[in-house]
Each structure stands twice: as structure tokens, then as C-alpha cells.
Amino acid sequence: MSTGEEKKQRFSRPLVITTTLQGQIRHRRKLSKELFFIDVLLTDTSVKEQVLFRSDDESCTRELVQDTYRIARPGSIIRVEVGLPTDPREDSTYKVWQSKGPLIVIELYNDPKQIFISDPPLGSKGPKETIVRQDGSTKQKSQMFCKFWINQRECIRFPNCPYLHPSEEEYEEARKTWIEDRLTVRKIATHDPEDPHTSKKSHAMRAMVFVQWIHQTFGDILKDGTGVLDIAGGKGDVSMFLCHAYGIPSTVVEPEIRKRPNHWYTRLRRYTCRIVQNQDPLSTAPIEEKWPYELEPTYMGTLLDDDFVVSYPDIVENTGLLVGMHADQATEPIVDMALKLGKAFAVIPCCVFGHENRHRRLKSGGEVNTTEEFIQYLSEKDTRIQKAYLGFEGKNVVLYYRP
């Protein structure tokens, strides 16, 4: 039997809207990007019933399911039109409905003093005693620290929370252990076999590592006063290193000008001085902490767009490189603008914002939802775009282009 015939046989019941439910969402669970369900405590009967939202039966679009999931927050009062599930196998000892959407939010749960505690899902035998972690391993909840207790020293489920809640005397050691465990699990889960770096700098040194790589890769372009546009550069860490460590002019293009406290300058100056003297940035050995170059970055509270090119032609003309380190939503515009202007660029992709950019498609036709897919999507814009790995923790793939 073909896949199409199997699906047709499985979803043998058409979705016909028969009633409207209104009540509070007591539980929400996502099974895939095409299927999730909510348990609703009905306002008129005080009975809980389950509502499915799915697109794998072609009753609605995948985009609608994903949009609905984002607004179907536990604790909120909602109204939704439903009918019998298209898959008869969904029939259960409790009432199961299916919605074609849209879901209407009547009142958001918004109690600042109390986080909403979801009920166990309908049909469950109670909370599970184990949890599957990010690296795929399984661990007993009774052997793990409560993240709310560790981070806030407060747990709204205590004393019924299944996790550990260390005493005040044990707290600091427990927090240290918790952080180390999370970092270890994250490294395993995000390991890239193509990444050649085994010993990496900390997240705090990422700008320093990026700038060292920029100097090595684009040093021939960035000479005789040719500058850099540091797009969505935040406080300007990258530009500070470019200017003060290598004397390369840099302009921070950031819509929201950030505060730059004294301790921020002190830390960057210490790193810069040790970089140029080939020392460990974290060393505590005495050193004269004086900027190698007194050149200061320029800050512009604006966006990089077509109006920027028209309004600041001299800056664009004197720019040899556009960069973006974890520039979020500005990452793709940096690549597009650099290719349009024939300028070199270097970006380190991070957040994808897939739900805001559904127009993105890989050449294969696939969606762009993960960082890896985003990197592939950007690389497919031009065959001359290259890829490298930088030696710091976290998202460390850099895409770059030399005209």
C-alpha cells in the first residue's frame, strides 16, 4: 500500500465543525510541527476535554498549526470551533476533538505573582519520574536540581516538586555543579564533527576571537583607512577590538545605542593589551594596560538598509567589510547588502526567527528552521560564500565572502 493510500485510510473521517468549546487551557503538548494538543477545562461544565491541532491530514496548513501553538498558552481562556478527529483512532476514554482553527484567545493568563502550573495530560498515569535531556540521555528527576530553585531560590511546586532543592549551606556548590552539568550536556548535544576546534575560548571572548580571524582573513582589504561596518553590533565589542588592537576604523550600526560602562572598557582594554603581546587574555600577570591604538569606533543609531546606502555614500564607499556577530534578524540583510554592493562580508549566524521568515526555502524546497538550515540557506545565495569555524563556545560558524 502506498503512503498516500495509507494516509487516506488512516484519516477516514472528514473534519466537520460541530460545536464550539470555551475554557481554560490546562495543558499543552507539542508532538511535531504538524501536531499538538491542548487540554481545556470547559467553562460551562468544569470538565476537561482534549483538542487536537494537526496539518498532516491536510485539514489545515502547517503554518496555521505553528501559529496556533504559539498563542495557545497554558492558563489562557480560549474559544475554538471543533469537530470529531479525522483519525478515528484518536477516540479515547475522554472526549477528544479536533480544530481546524483559528483559536481565539479571550483572556491571556497574566498573573505576575504566580507562574501557571499545567495539569498532567489527560490519560496520563501521573508525572514521569525521568526526563530525556538535550544530549539524548535519560536521568531521574530525583537526582537533578530544580532549575527554578537554582536560579531564583524559589520553586512554586515545592514541596511537591520531584527535583532536588539544596539547602542554603549546599546552594553554592549545587549551583556550580548544575552549571557544569548543563554546559557538558549542551556541548555533547551541539557537537559538530566538522568543527576542528577542541579547546575553545569562552563565550565572553567571542568578539576577540572573531576580530583576530577578521585580521588574518581580510587584513589585505582593511588597509590604508578602509573601514568596517559592524552591523547590529550592540555595545561594540567587535569594533573596539578592531579599532584599538589593529587600528582598523569601524562603525557600529545599531538602532539602539547601548550603555558602555567603565568596567566594559576595562575588560576590553585588558584583553586587547594581552592579545597584541601574545599573552593569555585571562592571565593575571602584571601588564601595562594601554590601548595599542587610540582610534575610537563610530556609533550610528540606525539600520542597514537602502536608505543607509543613499544617506551615507562616503561611509559605504570607504567600507571594505561588513560584519555581523550573532546579529539575529540583521544577518540575512548583511549578506544581501554586501553581495549587492560587491563588498566583503563575514557573519556568524545564530537565531533563525523561522516563523517570521517563512518565505525562506532551501534549493531542495525544504524549510529553514534550524541554525544549520539557515547557514545552508545563506550559503546558497552565492557559490563563492565560504565557511569556517571559530575557536569559541556556542554558535561559531562564520560565513564569509571576498569579492
Question: Does residue 160 fall inside a structural domain?
Answer: yes
Average pLDDT value over all residues in the chain: 90
C-alpha 258/C-alpha 187 separation (Å) is 31
Tell me: pLDDT of 5 over 70: no
Strand-pairing partners, residue 79, are: 22, 104
Same-domain status, 183 and 212: no
If you average pLDDT over each of 122-126, 197-201, 376-380, which comes out highest? 376-380
Residue 268 lies in a domain: yes
pLDDT at residue number 50? 95
pLDDT tens digits along 191-204: 888 889 888 888 88
Domain assignment of residue 219, yes or no: yes
Task: Assign residue 353 the CATH number of its domain.
Answer: 3.40.50.150
Q: How many domains does the chain have?
A: 3
Query: For residues 263 and 304, what is the distance between their CA atoms, to the nearest angstrom?
Result: 29
174 and 256 share one domain? no
Among the ranges given (93-107, 183-197, 319-333, 382-396), the one the predictor scored with the smallest mean pLDDT: 183-197
The pLDDT assigned to 132 comes to 86
Q: Where are the alpha helices (DSSP H) in 35-170?
A: 62-71, 147-152
Q: Are residues 149 and 212 in the same domain?
A: no
- pLDDT for 235-281, tens place per residue? 999 999 999 999 999 999 999 888 888 888 888 988 888 877 777 77
197 falls within a domain = no
Is 113 inside any structural domain?
no
**For 70-127, where are the E strands, in sequence order?**
77-83, 96-99, 104-107
Contact 241, 207 (CB under 8 A): yes
Mark whether 93 and 169 lie in a shared domain. Answer: no
Quote the CA–CA distance of 324 and 335 in Å, as a whole number: 9
Q: In 91-198, which ranges are E strands? A: 96-99, 104-107, 130-132, 138-140
Residue 23 maps to which CATH number?
Answer: 2.40.50.140
Alpha-carbon span 36 to 32, nearest angstrom: 7
338 band by pLDDT with thresholds 50, 70 and 90: very high
Range of 176's domain? 130-189
pLDDT of residue 133: 84
- Same domain? 286 vs 311: yes
Same domain, 208 and 279: yes
Same domain, 184 and 209: no
- How far is 234 from 193, CA to CA, in rounded Å? 31
Residue 316 CA to residue 181 CA, distance in Å, equals 46
Regarding whether 172 and 53 lie in a shared domain, the answer is no
